[in-house]
Structure 1
Amino acid sequence: MLTALTGAHGDRPDAVTVAGRTSSYEDLLGAARAVAADIGGARAVAVSATPSLETVAAVVGALLAGVPCVPVPPDAGPAEREHILRDSGATPIEADFARRGDHGTTEPAAPGDPALILYTSGTTGPPKGVVLSSAALTADLDALADAWQWTAADTLVHGLPLFHVHGLVLGVLGALRTGSRLVHTGRPTPEAYAAAGGSLYFGVPTVWSRIAAEPQAAAALSGARLLVSGSAALPAPVFRDLHALSGHRPVERYGMTETLITLSGRAGAEVRPGTVGTPLPGIRTRIAAEPGADIGELQLTGPTLFSAYLGRPEATAAAHTEDGWFRTGDIAAADADGVHRIVGRASLDMIKSGGYRIGAGEVENALLDHPRVREAAVVGVPDPDLGQRIVAFVVADGVTGSELTDFVAAHLSVHKRPREVRFITAVPRNAMGKPQKKRLLTDEFEERT
């Protein structure tokens, strides 16, 4: 899987840069081989996934040794860390760049064996370990390299966490697969992205929103080849601002820990805001919609899907349909050309109000089109008359709730207007910028706002 490290693209003295420190492929491979020599035969190893060359070397070392690697969020609390280590049976390890290993006798895992165990966010219970094989990883990275015309000539820039699919699998292993130079900025600030001089940039909506808010930083990306956004929906106003300032229409893609990336826009093709493109090669999708509805749960099958939830056969079975398709839990629609649009999560973003099925994302995008709205999160709350009523949590200045309700009603169908607008100081988000909507409905959150 690590073709760049095996010499397919030649060595580069500045092949990998993380938080200002640079390594050649040769030095990275030497440090990784030292790790591999130490951990051979282990059940699994855990890596505190700080943005560092040591994290990259430790993950690569585990792959070389054929030992499943468990990236742990460096800011994980004691309870979360203890759960991950206990559940996975992983032994914590560290890499030392001062050490070098030789080829040794380690043997990589077979393509179908576990390579990574990534833990979910645990929104519906304790975090579950998602087992990913090297076959799934390589299938996904090769498909994305084709979709994004990603080659060894690129310089990839991002500053994303190294314990998620986006930052680690795409943002590190993708570079080591294609041979592209990697610049991890440590933190994904507009200034760092602007100064990096990349051809390919990865970001989440929070990152792109902050860059769009600084015109000089956005303009500095005009020399890039492709901007990619993922992990959450990119608001249409941010898409438009980036296009106006940088000349780029960001490509959006869709994926989950359990599926890796399955849908994406293509480099050089038409890109429409609010869409996540078409299925990657080998991926099949279907929309499980109720009769008469044009949106429903997105279900998937293909070579990039996870092997199982670690030690949870019942949860693994429950995540699949009787005929073996994975239930994403996301509500989506697809047009006649196969271009998909994600409406939101079935549990929170499919609102049933007054007999209508309404996607929260559509209402959020309408609110974000208002010039005084900076953030918006829409949920459905129980209502004795409507079943659910639409409630909008908004970060804005100089506008009233009734004005925003009227604004949405003028842009969308009247039944999609918020019945209530609550003004807050910030939408709560996780490390990848995804809104944590359940927190909006807690007393703890409302007391803070």
Structure 2
Amino acid sequence: MSALLRSLNPLAVARGDDVSDAVRIDGHTLSRSDILGAATAVAARVSRAERVAVLATPTATTIVAVVGCLLAGVTVVPVPPDSGPAELAHILKDSGAQAWLGPGPDTGDAATGAQVPELPVLPVRLHARDWHHVPEPSPKKIAFVLYTSGTTGAPKGVLLSRQAIAAGLDALVRAWDWTERDTLVHGLPLFHVHGLILGVLGPLRVGSRLIHTGKPTPQAYAEAAGTLYFGVPTVWSRVVEDEESARALGRARLLVSGSAPLPVPVFEKLRELTGQAPIERYGMSETMLTVSTRADGERRPGWVGVPVAGVQTRLRDEHGADVPHDGESIGVLQVRGPMLFDGYLGRPEATAASWTEDGWFVTGDVAVIDAEGFHRIVGRESTDLIKTGGFRVGAGEIETVLLGHRSVREVAVAGLEDDDLGQRIVAFVVPHVDGPEVVEEELITLVAQQLSIHKRPREVRVVESLPRNAMGKVQKKLLQ
């Protein structure tokens, strides 16, 4: 196996043995040799390219295309399969992708109006084989341009290097005791850190098996009989509603939740039905995963754990002063470590603005840290830090309390403009279908009793659903 695979992709990290069912996805079962042979054939075809786009469908073709580019040292631009013409045009133009590796999207007539670049298509053949030696690219080579969700303006291209990805994966291997004996199961999209880098490159590097379920349904997760499961909170919410499937996951070693806060009631229900508390973790496209609950450590509902190996964190207030680690004081989270990104593609000003003068990345998330180093993410500074009546309030702590009420299925708390208070705390509540009626005064009183009176919502609005992006994150700007 090539040195490249030992340094990033790890098809070789499985102690030299081949596994006939290393990856199961979209009706295909691939051994490590299948992936390496087909990917080396891809590498030979794309080796002169700088960047190529991959329509990141949950298929074997996507996996072979990505591994082939990594072998060749070619940068991958994963494109969400549900991209509209405007988003697609932006990603292709901004990234400078030179071709589609594998099938491109069927844009139809809409593509012409959105001026989507017409790129050549390079097919990926799953049954092709090539065993030529591939020179090892530099560890500093950019492996991916990942586009952010674009909640504030057009999506930015996040540059992730090979060495950052390797460092990030290896830190999680230590935190989660992840070994070649594991079978990872998930049904997440393959165009972001969670599903693609952790969920595909992770098992390839570790040497564990991967089962991608297509859709992350409770039944598919239960039938996969894995040892390690990845899911976003909406996945775990559906799992706990299917008691039979949830109990089947009790045979697993770890259940990992990320990409958004896991509601405490879902955490507790998972623990009740599976016999184990889920792992929660924190990260973003720019940082990979920097904080996580450990497999051998405490798992506390509503908290995402401690920094992984090589990572340092700190909190700063709006004036740049230190925020105490007392488990209560809120500050903007800053991090540094070997798995951080190399900047935003073509945006030197945005890159510079995201770093402090002394070398810390400003996440834009607000958090609290306790004396033991445990982190709780309150939310985004732009949407979840509410300044009301002279107080600084985190929306996440209010949401946690409200989710404990039996009438509340989902909730998002936002600060709306108010002439008197500056911002007025408003709770947008999705009620339980089979639960009691949502009573505004009950919810307001609950928060005032469990937190502080100034943290109570001034208004409760009942809604049918909350706006979310492809990764399940609530888009609060649409509520505001």
TM-score by length of 2: 0.90
| Paired amino acid for 2:38 | A
Q: In 2, Cα distance between the equivalents of 1:300 and 1:408?
A: 31
Instruction: Look up the match of 2:101.
Output: 93
What is the aligned counterpart of 2:427 among 358, 369, 392?
A: 392
1:408 pairs with 447, 452, 455, which one? 447
Matches within 5 A, 1:27-426: 27-90=34-97, 91-94=99-102, 96-104=124-132, 106-289=134-317, 294-396=329-431, 398-426=437-465
Listed one character per residue, the Cα deviations across residues 64-112 of structure 1 (whole Å, up to 9, x for unaligned) are 0000011000110111111111111112111534442323354342101
SS in 2 for 1:170: helix
The aligned counterpart of 1:433 is 472
Residue 447 of structure 1 is matched in structure 2 by: none
Residues 189-234 of structure 1 deviation map (CA, whole Å, 9 limit, x = unaligned): 0110011100000111010011011111110100000111110100
How far apart are the structure 1 equivalents of 2:71 and 2:364? 34
**In 2, Cα distance between equivalents of 1:308 and 1:108:** 23
Contact 2:254 2:278 survives alignment (8 Å): yes
In the alignment, the residues of structure 1 paired with residue 226 and residue 13 of structure 2 have an alpha-carbon distance, to the nearest angstrom, of: 24
Tell me, yes or no, if the aligned pair for 2:424 and 2:458 is still in contact at 8 Å.
yes
Specify the SS of the correspondent of 1:249.
coil
Q: Distance in 2 between matches of 1:48 and 1:248?
A: 36
Instruction: Kindly report the root-mean-square deviation, in angstroms, between the aligned alpha carbons of the 2 structures.
Output: 1.4
For 1:180 and 1:434, the matched residues in 2 are separated by 28
Q: Distance between the aligned counterparts of 1:238 and 1:309, measured in 2?
A: 35
SS of 1:347's equivalent? helix
Deviation at 1:7, TM superposition (A): 5.7
Residue pair 2:250, 2:274 contacting (<8 A) in 1 also: yes
Between the aligned partners of 2:462 and 2:137, the Cα distance in structure 1 is 52
3-state SS of 1:244 partner: helix
Identical pairs, percent: 60
Q: Tell me the CA shift for residue 151 of structure 1.
A: 0.3
Aligned to 1:446: none
**Distance 1:314-1:198 versus aligned 2 partners, 3 A rule:** same
Amino acid at match of 2:400: N
The answer to whether the Cα contact below 8 Å between 2:13 and 2:207 also exists between their aligned partners in 1 is no
The C-alpha deviation readout for 1:336-383, integer Å capped at 9, x for no partner, is 111111011000000011111110001111110001110000000111
> In structure 1, what residue type is equivalent to 2:37?
G
1:385-435: per-residue Cα shift (whole Å, max 9, x none)? Answer: 111110000011512222221222222211111101111001111111110
The one-letter code matched in structure 1 to 2:89 is E
2:29 paired residue number: 22
Q: Which runs of 5+ in 2 are unaligned?
A: 1-7, 103-122
Encode CA deviations 1:42-75: one digit per residue, 9 max, x unaligned.
0101100000000000000000000001100011
TM, length-normalised to structure 1: 0.96
Please give the secondary structure, in 1, of the residue aligned with 2:135: coil
Asked whether the 8 Å contact 2:164–2:341 carries over to 1, the reply is yes
Is the 1:48–1:72 contact (alpha carbons within 8 Å) kept by the matching residues of 2?
Answer: yes
Contact 1:9/1:152 (8 A) holds in 2: no
**2: CA distance between counterparts of 1:334 and 1:179?**
34
1:43 and 1:224 map into 2 onto residues whose CA distance is 41
1:6 shift after superposition: 6.6
Aligned 8 A contact 2:167 2:339 in 1: yes
- Secondary structure of the equivalent of 1:183? strand
Task: Determine the structure 2 residue equivalent to 1:12.
Answer: 19
Q: Measured at CA, do residues 6 and 32 of structure 1 come closer, stay the same or move farther in structure 2, by a change above 3 Å?
A: farther
State how far apart, in whole Å, the 1-side matches of 2:28 and 2:247 are: 26
**In the aligned structure 1, how far is the partner of 2:355 from the partner of 2:167?**
21
Native 8 Å contact 1:229 1:253 kept in 2: yes
Task: Single out whichever of 105-114 and 325-334 deviates more from structure 2.
Answer: 105-114
Question: 1: CA distance between counterparts of 2:144 and 2:264?
Answer: 34
| Partner AA of 1:432 in structure 2 | M
Task: Indicate the larger mover: 92-101 or 82-91.
Answer: 92-101
Partners of 1:191 and 1:69 lie apart in 2 by: 32
The AA in structure 2 aligned to 1:377 is A
- CA distance in 1 between partners of 2:221 and 2:172 (Å): 22
Deviations 1:157-180 (A, max 9, x none): 000000010000000000000000
* Number of equivalent positions: 441
2:14–2:208: 8 Å Cα contact kept in structure 1? no
**3-state SS in 1 of match to 2:180:** coil
Quick check: 201-210 or 2-11, which moved more? Answer: 2-11
Report the Cα offset of residue 2 of structure 1: 1.9
Structure-2 separation of matches of 1:424 and 1:121: 23
Query: Do the aligned residues in 2 keep the contact of 1:32 with 1:57 (CA within 8 Å)?
Result: yes
